[in-house]
Amino acid sequence: MAENILVVGGGPAGLNAAVMLAELGVNVSLVERDSFLGGNPKKFKYKFLFPDMQPADNVIGELIKKAETGGNIKVYYSSEISDFKENGKKFDVTIKTADKNELKTFDSVIVSTGFEHFDPARDAKYSYQLFDDVIDIKDLERMMGEDNFVRPSNGQPPKNVAFILCVGSRDRHVGNQYCSRVCCTVSVKQAIELREHFPACEVYIFYMDIRTYGFFEDLYWKAMEEHDVQIVKGRIAEITSGPNNTVVCKGEDTLLRGPFEIPFDMVVLASGMEGGPQSSEISKKLGIGLDEHGFLKPENVTLSPFKSNRDGVFLAGACTGPKAISDSITEGAAAAMNAYTYAVKNK
Amino acid sequence: MEYNEKGVSIVPSEFKKEIFEEARKDFRYEEYVRGCLNCGVCTGGCPPHRFFDFSPRIVLQNMKSKDPELIWTMMDEYIWACFQCFTCAMICPFLNSPGGIIAILREIAVRRGFESARKVLKPYSRVLLKLTAYGNQLSPDMIQPDFFPDWGPTIGYASTDLAVKRKAIPMPTLQVTNLAWDVAPETMKELYEIFDESGVFKIIESVDPSLYEIIQDIVDDVRSS
């Protein structure tokens, strides 16, 4: 009889894990809290993915299609785990859907519950939700996904746009000391997209460090050299209202100009990633560790980043920390391999 | 800041080192000085930065350099440009407190009676007198045009006929002009004890000896009453 494996969370990591397990002939139960698959990339309508600007649908859409049509995968939409018990080496799990509870026994479990976008309203200095023209990268990504590049306040094309990096990351005031890894590259990508869409629009990026790690650096240099994006060292201290329906960014250009107050038509906050309430919830339900950053804690961050501290429960994707989509997909495969091995060994 | 004719500081480097060590040993130092990546948020939000050559980022960077020379350069004018509003501490992502470092350095300047401290505290001598000798802060007779230019053109009118105006206030006041409120001799004696124990009188003596003498005369009078 085939193995039964539970995957919790249907984002890039969970989808890839489910698809790979299904290909091995495993009976996969995929539990998804939303009414659709694809996780945050789908929810916020990511349009083009860095580094090669390929349509997000080529990646996410492809995975969803495979999960929905590949057979062997039972998808539970708008569902959650309501009860979780160890049964020898196996697990008795109650899956709660909108209309019923289903009790199933699994050989192993993969947790891929993902992340939440940091809510910039939590940091008052950015005036998010106070001014219509202050948005964040997920808002812009969704707007661009809907082919809507204009200023929220008046529907006009922006004459200049500021990107502000490290919003909700690397800041002890909001409780997140870590770097969210992808926001620099996403901002650079979006800056290029804005410049391509509105060649007359000036685009600034305000940074403390720019962390376009590895090959993502290509995109950063391209933004500067081919798209004339202005890169200014200095974190923004305050955003306030300016003349002619603008928003003023106040800060210090620590390398060149000293203090500045620049009015912008639009400000885009590069808000980071958080473990979200789902991380602590699943940690309690499944009895697996939570780290000091609010993400799920791997047994060994270097040797076995895809293992939880509980035998038979594996981790994949951004639930263990900020991550690019490609890394999440890789981890989905790694967790699938480990969950499969565990299931086969203990059958 | 003493320099010789060649523009070289004649303050011995041992002394500068001593000042730095004094700051570093302050019990607040570890809390105020953490990591810094020169993001400039502190300076971007700093009100005096708009008006003076003053940057909280430079204050923190100088402190983190552990270079006694750099810290010494701030002791003359730099540390007195800060408004002590602590906006920098409110917004620094590392939770540094450049304003707190300023407070530590100012206290050293005052304790050691540096010329810069004397100069800056001079206009406050009337407040210091009222505060330490009488347990009062601002009394009506201190409202004089020379001392409150920021009150604008009405200060002239506001500073005349104080006794009558005081009496016209429609609520019980002391109705005198040399005190803001009445402080019992027992309370004043307790205050003197506090100022003695905490070294406040000593600091005033080093910063403004003549003010200290006036205060001590009043203190002696009250204590012997």
Burial of A243 (0-12, 13-18, 19+ CB in 10 A): exposed
Domain boundaries, chain A: 4-115+275-345, 117-272
pLDDT at B176: 84
Q: Is there a contact between B39 and A171 if contact means CB atoms under 8 Å apart? A: no
Would you call A253 and B40 a contact, using CB atoms and an 8 Å cutoff? yes
Closest Cα of chain B to A262: distance in Å? 12
Q: Nearest-CA neighbor of B90 among B80, B104, B105, B100? A: B100
In chain B, the domains with their CATH numbers are 13-112 (1.10.1060.10), 122-224 (no CATH)
A314 class by beta-carbon count within 10 Å (0-12 exposed, 13-18 middle, 19+ buried) = buried
Residues in chain B, total: 225
H-state helical runs in chain A: 12-23, 39-43, 56, 62-69, 137-145, 183-197, 217-225, 276-286, 325-345
Residue A332: pLDDT over 70 = yes
Q: Which residues of B fall within a CB distance of 8 Å from A170?
A: 93
pLDDT band at A102 (very low <50, low <70, confident <90, very high): very high
Q: What CATH code would you report for A117-272?
A: 3.50.50.60
Instruction: Give A-chain residues touching B42 at CB under 8 angstroms.
Output: 237
Q: Which two tokens stand for residue A120?
A: 């910039």
- pLDDT tens readout for residues B30-55: 999 999 999 999 999 999 998 888 99
Residue B215 CA to residue A27 CA, distance in Å, equals 89
Provide, as residue numbers in chain A, all residues whose Cβ is less than 8 Å from the Cβ of B37. 208-209
Rounded distance between C-alpha atoms, residue A304 and residue A314, angstroms: 10
Nearest by CB: A250 against B42, B44, B57? B44
Do β-strands A266-271 and A134-136 pair in parallel, antiparallel, or remain unpaired?
Answer: parallel
Please tell me if residue B50 touches chain A, with a CB cutoff of 8 Å.
yes
Contact at CB, B40 and A251, closer than 8 angstroms: yes
Q: Which residues in B lie closer than 8 A to residue A254 (C-beta atoms)? A: 38-40, 43, 57
Mutation target vs B (from A169, A173, A206, A235; most B CBs, 10 A cutoff): A235
Q: Tell me the CATH number of domain A4-115+275-345, given options 3.50.50.60, 3.30.540.10, 3.40.50.300, 3.90.79.10.
A: 3.50.50.60
- At residue A153, does pLDDT exceed 70? yes
Is the CB of A233 less than 8 angstroms away from the CB of B38? Answer: yes
Model confidence over A333-346: pLDDT tens digits? 999 999 999 999 98
The SS3 of residue A125 is: helix
Is B96's Cβ below 8 Å from some Cβ in A? no
What pLDDT score was predicted for residue B86? Answer: 96
Residues 205-244 on A with a CB inside 8 Å of B are 208-209, 233-238
Contact residues, chain B, for A256 at CB < 8 Å: none
Give chain A positions within 8 Å (CB) of B40. Answer: 233-235, 237, 251-254
With the C-alpha atoms ordered A154, A156, A162, A168, is the resulting torsion angle positive or negative? positive
Closest to A251 in 3D by CA, of B56, B74, B81: B56
Q: Which of A171, A172, A259 sits opposite B44 (nearest CB)?
A: A259
How close does chain B come to A332, measured CA to CA in Å? 34
| ipTM value | 0.84
Task: Answer yes or no: do A254 and B40 touch at CB < 8 A.
Answer: yes
Q: Does residue A283 surpass a pLDDT of 90?
A: yes
Q: Do A166 and B44 touch (CB under 8 A)?
A: no
Spell out which residues of chain B touch residue A262, defining contact as CB-CB under 8 Å.
none
Q: What is the pLDDT of residues A261-282, one digit of tens each?
A: 999 999 999 999 999 999 999 9
Please state the rounded mean pLDDT for residues A56-79. Answer: 94
Of B38, B91, B94, the CB nearest to A237: B91
Contacts of A235 in chain B (CB under 8 A): 39-41, 44, 93
Distance CA A220, CA A60 (A): 24
At residue B159, the pLDDT reads 85
Q: Which residue of B has its CA nearest to A249?
A: B44
Q: What is the mean pLDDT of each run of 10 residues along chain B (225 residues)?
A: 72 94 96 96 92 93 95 92 94 96 95 89 85 88 77 81 84 79 91 94 89 95 92
Partner residue opposite A259 with nearest CB, options B37, B39, B43: B43
For residue A212, what are the CA distances in angstroms to A163, A203, B65? Answer: 15, 18, 29
Instruction: Summarize the confidence of residues A234-251 as an average pLDDT.
Output: 95
Q: What is the DSSP string of A265-316?
A: SEEEEEE-EE-HHHHHHHHHHHT--B-TTSSBPPSBTTTBTTB-SSTTEEE-
What angle in degrees, to the nearest 10, is found between the helix axes of B98-111 and B56-65? 70
* B94: closest CA of chain A, how far (Å): 6
Decide if B93 and A171 are in contact by the 8 Å CB cutoff: yes
Both structure tokens of B133: 């000798």
The Cα B172–Cα A146 span in angstroms is 69
| List of chain A residues whose C-beta atoms are within 8 Å of the C-beta of residue B94 | 172
Domains A4-115+275-345 and A117-272 share a fold: yes
Q: How far is A221 from chain B (nearest CA, A)?
A: 21
pTM score of the predicted model = 0.85
pLDDT score for B1: 58
- Contact A239/A136 with Cβ under 8 angstroms? no
- pLDDT band for A256, please (50, 70, 90 cuts): very high
| pLDDT of amino acid A203 | 98
Q: Which helix (H) or strand (E) holds A103?
A: strand A101-106
Phi-psi sector, A72: left (phi>0), alpha (psi -120 to 50), beta: left
Which among B34, B39, B52 is the top mutation candidate for probing chain A, defined by the most A β-carbons within 10 Å of its own β-carbon?
A: B39
Could you tell me how many CB contacts below 8 A there are between chain A and chain B? 61
Distances (CA, A) of A44 to A118, A139, A164, A327, A332: 13, 8, 20, 19, 21
Contact A273, A322 (CB under 8 A): yes
Window 137-196 of A, Cβ < 8 Å to B: 166, 170-173
Q: Using a CB-CB distance cutoff of 8 angstroms, which residues of chain B are in contact with residue A252?
A: 40-41, 43-44, 49, 55, 57
> Which residue of A125, A234, A259 is in closest CB contact with B91?
A125
Q: Is A254 within 8 Å of B49 when comparing Cβ atoms?
A: no
pLDDT at B206: 85
Rounded CA separation A75/A15 (Å):
10
